[in-house]
Amino acid sequence: MPDFIYLASQSPRRSQLLDQLGIRHTLLLPNAPGDVAEDTESMEEVLPAEPPATYVERVTALKLDAAVQRHARRGLPDAPILCADTTVTFENRIFGKPEDAQDARRMLSELSGRSHRVLTAVALQAGGQRWAALSVSHVTFAALCAQQIAAYVDTGEPMGKAGAYGVQGRAAALISHLSGSYSGIMGLPLYETAQLLRAAGMHI
């Protein structure tokens, strides 16, 4: 068993969380120079009436399929490949990454003073075997005024993040309660990830 894994994610937070576990990892990212172009955005499209848990698990599986093909195409050394995807859901609606500052303000206004769920699916492939898990957490925002929301959006932190916030950043001052997996809310549930890595034979 190799002493490292491939992380097929562009999220620096997921890389930092693997460092926290002491897991050596190499990034396996799409669209490297000279490689086949990959349409990564189409993978994240929501299907009609698709439940949030089904969505996040399906997207993670698609990302892992693409990463496995990428690994084979590039002729890289064998090692487990890890993928994850996070979505925020409120009233069974999926809150993805905001399109712009106005969209971020809209999301945060809807989440203000209410609880929502954060779902992070994680999947690991080693050889012909695949393991998967789902982490479900709950986050409650304090009641936010328009000025608070605008000030947070102006920091730029909400952009590129599901639900328009990052729990590990300035949004922590706006969250009154959370339950579940803090690392899962960040983007990689460490308990579930460690379980998958152990199942693949890695020592944690």
Question: Distance (Å, rounded) from C-alpha 177 to C-alpha 147?
Answer: 21
Beta-carbon count within 10 A of 203 CB: 8
Determine whether 85 is an active site residue. yes
Helix and strand numbers, DSSP H then E, in the chain: 6, 7
d(CA 202, CA 104): 39
19, 35, 78, 85: which one is catalytic? 85
Instruction: For residue 26, give the nearest of 36, 34, 35, 14 by alpha carbon.
Output: 14
Quick check: 76 and 2 in contact, CB under 8 A? no
Average pLDDT over residues 133-143: 98
pLDDT of residue 1 exceeding 80 = no
Per residue in 149-204, pLDDT (tens digit) is: 999 999 999 999 999 999 999 999 999 999 999 999 999 999 999 999 999 999 88
- The pTM of this model reads 0.93
CB distance 135 to 119 below 8 Å: yes
Name the DSSP letter for residue 72: H
Q: What integer pLDDT is reported at residue 175 of this predicted model? A: 97
